[in-house]
């Protein structure tokens, strides 16, 4: 599963979809960004994907696509895979299992140093501990 944080136009997630990802979650702080940028871009670039609203869909290639709006402090509560996994305990350790996000993508997502602790906590809650990886692209200087 791939999770694109602060997706904006959603280009990394769209590329992953075109390359055969099974599940992609697009997240942005503002629902308007998803409605006005992300979903139209997915509609235009992913064959057989047409959706007017923020709900789960599958395109012909089999990719399951989700859209989520909210801040990094609370968004994990909306993600279905986190909700299901948090209910299950690891029998051997008695600990709550972590989410199973194989890849987290981010590009130009951090605009404030104060947001970094929330981003870090979200990544910890969502990434697969054994093999998950996060890719972040950012500018060195903002003007």
Q: For the segment 6-46, what is each residue's pLDDT rounded down to a tens digit? A: 999 999 999 999 998 988 999 999 999 999 999 999 989 98
142 is a domain residue: no
Specify the pLDDT at position 91.
47
Count: domains in the chain: 1
16 is a domain residue: yes
Residue pair 50/40 in contact (Cβ under 8 Å)? The answer is no
Quote the strand ranges of 70-132, DSSP E.
103-107
Q: What is the CATH number of the domain that holds 102?
A: 3.40.50.150
pLDDT digits (tens, 9 = 90+) for 36-55: 999 999 989 987 776 645 55
Total Cβ atoms within 10 A of residue 45: 15
116 is a domain residue: yes
Q: Are strands 64-69 and 57-58 parallel, antiparallel or unpaired?
A: antiparallel
73 is a domain residue: yes
Domain holding 132, by residue range, is 2-137
61 is a domain residue: yes
pTM to 2 decimal places: 0.78
Residue pair 79/126 in contact (Cβ under 8 Å)? The answer is yes
Q: Is the pLDDT of residue 62 over 50?
A: yes
């Amino acid at each position: 599963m791939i999770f694109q944080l602060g997706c904006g136009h959603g280009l990394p997630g769209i590329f992953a979809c075109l390359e055969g990802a099974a599940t992609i979650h697009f997240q942005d702080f503002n629902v308007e960004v998803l409605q006005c940028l992300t979903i139209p871009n997915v509609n235009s670039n992913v064959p057989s994907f047409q959706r007017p609203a923020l709900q789960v869909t599958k395109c012909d290639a089999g990719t399951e696509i989700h859209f989520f709006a909210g801040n990094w402090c609370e968004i994990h509560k909306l993600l279905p895979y986190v909700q299901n996994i948090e209910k299950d305990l690891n029998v051997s350790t008695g600990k709550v299992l972590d989410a199973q996000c194989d890849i987290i993508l981010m590009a130009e997502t951090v605009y404030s140093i104060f947001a970094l602790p929330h981003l870090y906590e979200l990544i910890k809650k969502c990434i697969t501990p054994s093999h998950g990886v996060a890719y972040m692209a950012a500018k060195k200087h903002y003007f």
